[in-house]
Amino acid sequence: MSTLSARSEDYLKTIYKLQSERKVVRVKDLAVTLGVRSPTVVGVISGLKDSGLVDQEHYGYISLTGAGEKLARTLVQNEELLKSFFREILDLGPDEAEANACSIEHYITPTCRERLVAFIRFLEVCGKGSPKWLDHFRHFLHTGEPPPCDRCGEMLPGEEKKCTKE
């Protein structure tokens, strides 16, 4: 994916989101949204301009280039997929899911991020009707106990106990 810093990726996503809401983005908008000072924004934007990901007009408006928009869209989609995974699969609340999605995307390798996103997409496409293993995981998550065996109906705690129907 990208070799940008976590901070630069966050700026791209924020510009992308603000651009879709307001059409124009200024340094002040980014500073307020990201909770930083304007000089910090100017420094990061300068690096993003050098990378060809953003443009800044003489009157201060910031916009994504074609490459910047494409990358930002991918980053936003990946973050949304991670949030969905944390909410729907791991059963985290919305705030916790969002905090974890934002954190984890920056601290795993690009290959790991791509594979995790691919796995989540796979679950969305192929997991309709909730596969048995996912139902079993949810049962375990909420009870702390393994679910009954699909074959014999007995609880199978630990690896040493085998199904009587095998």
| pLDDT of res. 1 | 46
In angstroms, the CA 124 to CA 50 distance is 37
Q: How many residues does the chain have?
A: 166
Residue type, 74: T
| pLDDT tens, residue order, the chain (166 aa) | 457 888 999 999 999 999 999 888 999 999 999 999 999 999 999 999 999 999 998 778 999 999 999 999 989 988 888 898 899 888 899 999 999 998 888 788 878 888 888 888 887 777 666 677 777 888 888 888 888 766 666 655 555 555 555 5
Q: Where are the domains of the chain?
A: 6-70
- Give the Cα separation of 10 and 13 in Å (integer): 5
Pick one of 3.90.950.10, 3.30.70.20, 1.10.10.10, 3.40.640.10 as the CATH number of 6-70. 1.10.10.10
pLDDT of residue 156: 54
Half-sphere exposure (Cβ direction) of 39: Cα atoms closer than 13 Å: 0
Rounded distance between C-alpha atoms, residue 23 and residue 20, angstroms:
6
CA angle 9-83-91, nearest 5°? Answer: 155
